[in-house]
Amino acid sequence: MIDSILLVDDEDLFHLVFEDSCSLLDITLSLQSLTSSDEADKLFKKWFQEGPLEEKPDCVFVDLNIIGSSFDGIELIRKINFEYGNGVVIGIISSSDDKQEIEKAKAVGAQFWIIKSDEIEPRLEAFRKDYDGYKNKTASFKVYK
């Protein structure tokens, strides 16, 4: 089980879907959901500059296009990985499967790409199985279709 997860997605309904799916699949006990990348950026800045670092989540799921934010999910991943220290398992959760975007995400250190659809549970289940590999940095980048 993943200790704590942070979801950054502008769609409130998806927060509910993700929370219920995670609970039913016993993926995590602690889930925090944010609707903008600016909020996530502020939190990471706070954790990184003021601490305690233990408060930061173990795994971060970021939407690709976060409406109402100053920057997209790929930029948020770049900031988290290169500005605030690479200490979390991080990847994209999006309905897009654009190859160029996937390559961009890989380049900034995303470890996975989960494609959102009506049936998100099997993908989360598969992700949970691979999670330890992502945590130990032994698993390579994967797209969950």
Binding site for another protein (CB under 8 A): 11, 13-14, 16-17, 20-21, 23-24, 26, 29-30, 118
Least distance in Å: CB of 121 to another protein?
Answer: 9
Specify the residue, 30 or 86, whose C-beta has the smaller distance to another protein: 30
Least distance in Å: CB of 14 to another protein?
Answer: 7
For the stretch 13-16, contacts whose Cβ atoms lie closer than 8 Å and that sit 24 or more positions apart, written own/partner, are 14/63, 14/116
| Torsions phi, psi for 38 (to 5 deg) | -65, -40
Specify the residue, 21 or 81, whose C-beta has the smaller distance to another protein: 21
Nearest-CA neighbor of 31 among 63, 59, 66?
Answer: 59
Q: Token digits for 10?
A: 């502008």
Q: Token digits for 73?
A: 């999910």
Least distance in Å: CB of 65 to another protein?
Answer: 14
Give the E-state strand segments of 52-127 in sequence order: 59-62, 89-94, 112-115
Specify the residue, 17 or 143, whose C-beta has the smaller distance to another protein: 17
Least distance in Å: CB of 21 to another protein?
Answer: 7
Specify the residue, 19 or 75, whose C-beta has the smaller distance to another protein: 19
